[in-house]
Structure 1
Amino acid sequence: MGEGIKIATIGGGSSYTPELVEGFIQHYDELPVRELWLVDVEDGKEKLAIVGNLARRMIKKAGLPIDVHLTLNRQEALQDADFVTTQFRVGLLDARAKDENIPMKYGVLGQETNGPGGLFKGLRTIPVILDICRDMEEFCPEAWLINFTNPAGMVTEAVLRYSSIEKVVGLCNVPIGMEMGIAELLEVDPSRVRIDFAGLNHMVYGLEVYVDGKSVKHKVMELLSRPEHSSFVKNIDGMGWEPEFLRSLNVLTCPYHMYYYKTKEMLEKNRKSAQEEGTRAEVVQKLEQELFELYKDPDLSVKPQQLEERGGAYYSEAAVRLITSIYTDRCDIQPVNTVNNGAIASIPAESAVEVSCVITKEGPKPVTVGDLPVQVSGLVQQIKSFERVAAEAAVTGDYDKAVLALTINPLTPSDTVAAQIVEEMMEAHQPYLPQFFQTIKV
């Protein structure tokens, strides 16, 4: 890497971008970003301009020599980039609303990254991420791809299996949110907390939790059994766990486990919320309208506090921490999505897992876990099967594989229901699923 760093952010018009820019500003001394290229598509042009202008005001206020470039030309942005971050949403929030609403008609949870919603977000997203990878091979073959785009585990799986990009890391704010939340529960500084993470994205478990190197897992699990402490992310309203269940499980859950261990209750909760205030996508659409109105203010030169309600808490911290550790060869431990390479014994070596890793200039080095505890390994393997078949369907445009993937997913009650949901959602998302409509007629 030359003098300073060039970072290209795909999906630069996202409401999350000010969070990322704030991180680059705060960590400039150790991560000297020279150029930040914010890239978007034609439909996101207006938001890109609003966010880009706010980013420039933030950097100007900080007095830093970071040049911000706004472009719809992805290849221009990728040229000689050192890091490429991805945070895009194919079909925008309208597509997410369909992902949430359609499954509920069939008595199935509709959620952004789980069940039918996760499948169809993956089917829309994977062809685009693989196009980005092909561009990276040509314009910045030495760059690191840092993917935040959901479903992050499935997307990372697809990049590992269907592209020649090896420098790819998937990142999620859930593990760092769990660390921060536990530190708050225990009333200790977050730097004193460490969790041994293992599993998959949005299916990750804390096998151990330490404060100053001493295990406090049982104390933490007791605290997490209380309803008011059950969730650390804005987009999941936790319901609390049965103490007997947590004691027997004997590992820390992440908020997304609610969908699998409390499926019926979460479905009813989501239905009620959808009726009273709209689905999560519809809530976020209103929130984003408010955010972008704030972003337009020419006097605004900091990240507004309201962004924390968007669900991306610690996104900036996780992102900048990872990029900085790669850049400086820090060799600290962070939970990321990377190639398993034997870290989790029950998952194929070439698959993507979310696991604690030592972060080096050569990338993440997974901490070996061995076999997952028997009480969680079956569910993790089932979700990995779902991700692999879904990724194959996304790449091949195989309609039958899409039905198979959804049937494998534990949130789907039967193959009949899976086929019905896939048929309706294929039709609803047809503009963003060309690979299927080239080969079949739905």
Structure 2
Amino acid sequence: MSKTALKIVTIGGGSSYTPELIEGYIKRKDQLPIKEIVLVDIEAGKEKLEIVGAMARRQIEAAGLDWTVELTLDRKTALKDADFVTTQFRVGLLDARIKDERIPLSHGVLGQETNGAGGMLKAFRTIPIILDIIKDMKEVCPDAWLVNFTNPAGMVTEAAIKHGGWKKTVGLCNVPIGHCSTASQKLGIPEDELFFKFAGINHFHWHRVWDKTGKERTAELIDMIYGPHKEGENTDFKNIHDAEFHYEQIKDLGMLPCGYHRYYYIEDEMLKHSIEEFENGETRAQVVKATETRLFELYKDPALNYKPEELSQRGGTHYSDAACEIIASIQNDKRTDMVVSTENNGTIDDLPYDSIVEVSGSVTAHGVEPYNWGTFTPAARGIIQNMKAMEETVIRAAIEGNYGAALQAFTINPLVPGGTLAKTILDEMLYAHKDHLPQFAEKIKEIEADQPETISYVDQLMESNYKEIPAQMV
């Protein structure tokens, strides 16, 4: 891009991540000729938007820059003539995430932000919104790039590209950043002297590693991180319980797993830990909500003009910095090697050509050029094809408000037991999130009319003190 006065719009600008986003822009001030930053939120997020907006202005002033920061609740007006649009919103705020986690866990089923039942409900709420954003973009900023790090990032990005038709979309996640850092630390080699190759889908990818001599170090890293003589913890992520993978299984794969693979490879251990958190009123969403409350108290300080260290406890650190690097790489045709969600286009033989995959690639002025992966071994191929089929079904259900498709997705998902229990959890979650699922309105009315026990159960669960679990629950 050759434009010399950039307008960047952030949807979900009142997020606690925004100070890191601003820090990332400031770090790249010589690469990004920013003129205007617009932070957009909804009425329910107005107070946080004003707090974060004031802090963003202090950060920019402290850096000696003349960028303007605008705050608004009017999304369409904000988007007019934007060059880049970043998305970091959460439909229903953190209270919705609490429901995503607690309702399944009350049945002894994993509740998690992007995996299992919780991840699917988050997609149902989020995908219609990203498509609405794209409708506005087509009208008022048709040449803008969309950089999505709203979870579940892979499904949201696939909806944007395949169903919204917005080809200038890149999705990203902070998880690969942590894995690259771990490899560098274990090998004692700087990251820029290693070559990483990731392939899979969001929160469900594997990777291999080479050094600058051309030697592959993957097997060595598997031994160092997961082997019988490993040292230290296996994860850099605040939001993933550090249960131990089965070394023999990872060795057989011949690839390094994503941290989120724990939910599938050692599901019983992860579920046990999640239920313990639930019973103690300490689900991840509840912890994050408390962390966010503390962060916003810090952000209110008129003397604070830099990103506080406490933000690293939030669990999504590096998301925002990665978004800034994508923008800088597109703007300047830097061709930065990054791990992103983008169109497959034959990169992974085992997945549909037009599906969205999370892979390593070069970020250019015209978009992402992914590095070819080829095919997976049967053990990886079987599970990732199942996961991609689940994602495609979730997206269809979200767009159409199709209850049958939603139930299919719950049945396909490896973390949700099939049969009556899947339907029970789906119905409870649809009711719990009814304010944010207009596409399912008719089915929710039917649930309210015909299933009084569902209504009573969910209301009791959500209204109870977090440590007071109804007797019929886990």
Which position in structure 1 is the counterpart of 2:69? 68
Which position in structure 2 is the counterpart of 1:12? 13
Which position in structure 2 is the counterpart of 1:173? 174
- The question of 1:196 aligning with 2:200 is answered no
Gap runs ≥5 in structure 1: none
Which position in structure 1 is the counterpart of 2:388? 384
Contact 1:195 1:209 in 2 (8 A): yes
Which position in structure 1 is the counterpart of 2:132? 131
**How much does 1:237 deviate?**
1.8
**How much does 1:160 deviate?**
2.0
Contact 1:227 1:238 in 2 (8 A): no
Question: Which of 425, 433, 437 matches 2:429?
Answer: 425
Question: Which of 244, 249, 256 matches 2:248?
Answer: 244
Which position in structure 2 is the counterpart of 1:160? 161
Which position in structure 2 is the counterpart of 1:375? 379
Change (3 A) 1:277 1:306: farther
Instruction: Give the distance between the partners of 1:84 and 1:165, measured in 2 at CA.
Output: 12
Instruction: Give the distance between the partners of 2:48 and 2:310, measured in 1 at CA.
Output: 17
| Deviations 1:1-48, CA, capped at 9 Å, x for gaps | 532211100000000000110000011101222111000000000000
Instruction: Give the distance between the partners of 1:324 and 1:3, measured in 2 at CA.
Output: 13
**How much does 1:277 deviate?**
5.2
**How much does 1:412 deviate?**
1.4
Which position in structure 2 is the counterpart of 1:289? 293
Contact 2:245 2:265 in 1 (8 A): no
| Deviations 1:406-429, CA, capped at 9 Å, x for gaps | 110011121322111101000100
Which position in structure 2 is the counterpart of 1:398? 402
Match of 1:376, SS state, is helix
Which position in structure 1 is the counterpart of 2:459? none
Match of 1:191, SS state, is helix
Change (3 A) 1:201 1:227: farther
Question: Which of 304, 307, 314 matches 2:308?
Answer: 304
Query: Pairwise mapping of residues 31-70 of structure 1 onto structure 2 (< 5 A)?
Result: 31-70=32-71
The range that moved more, 42-51 or 212-221, is 212-221
Instruction: Give the distance between the partners of 2:224 and 2:311, measured in 1 at CA.
Output: 28
Contact 2:173 2:319 in 1 (8 A): yes
| Deviations 1:326-355, CA, capped at 9 Å, x for gaps | 111122321100111111111111110001
Which position in structure 2 is the counterpart of 1:210? 210
Which position in structure 1 is the counterpart of 2:461? none
Question: Which of 359, 362, 368 matches 1:358?
Answer: 362
User: Which amino acid in 1 is paired with 2:204?
Assistant: M
Instruction: Give the distance between the partners of 1:395 and 1:36, measured in 2 at CA.
Output: 31
User: Which amino acid in 1 is paired with 2:349?
Assistant: A
The range that moved more, 267-276 or 68-77, is 267-276
Instruction: Give the distance between the partners of 1:159 and 1:219, measured in 2 at CA.
Output: 38
Percent of aligned pairs sharing the same letter: 49
Which position in structure 2 is the counterpart of 1:106? 107
Instruction: Give the distance between the partners of 1:415 and 1:337, measured in 2 at CA.
Output: 32
Contact 2:410 2:418 in 1 (8 A): no
**How much does 1:249 deviate?**
1.4
Question: Which of 316, 334, 343 matches 2:347?
Answer: 343
Contact 1:25 1:62 in 2 (8 A): yes
| Deviations 1:120-162, CA, capped at 9 Å, x for gaps | 0000000000000000000111101000000001111111221
**How much does 1:229 deviate?**
3.0
The TM-score normalised by the length of structure 2 is 0.91
Contact 1:403 1:415 in 2 (8 A): no
User: Which amino acid in 2 is paired with 1:369?
Assistant: W
User: Which amino acid in 1 is paired with 2:216?
Assistant: S
Please report the RMSD computed on the Cα atoms of aligned residues, expressed in angstroms: 1.3
Which position in structure 2 is the counterpart of 1:260? 264
**How much does 1:105 deviate?**
2.0
Contact 1:103 1:110 in 2 (8 A): yes
**How much does 1:312 deviate?**
1.8
Contact 1:177 1:313 in 2 (8 A): no
**How much does 1:187 deviate?**
2.6
**How much does 1:439 deviate?**
5.8
**How much does 1:70 deviate?**
0.5
Instruction: Give the distance between the partners of 2:321 and 2:220, measured in 1 at CA.
Output: 26
Instruction: Give the distance between the partners of 2:202 and 2:232, measured in 1 at CA.
Output: 24
Instruction: Give the distance between the partners of 1:227 and 1:266, measured in 2 at CA.
Output: 21
Which position in structure 2 is the counterpart of 1:146? 147
User: Which amino acid in 1 is paired with 2:412?
Assistant: I
Match of 2:280, SS state, is helix
Contact 2:53 2:71 in 1 (8 A): yes
**How much does 1:164 deviate?**
2.2
Superposed structure 1 runs of 4+ greater than 6 Å apart: none
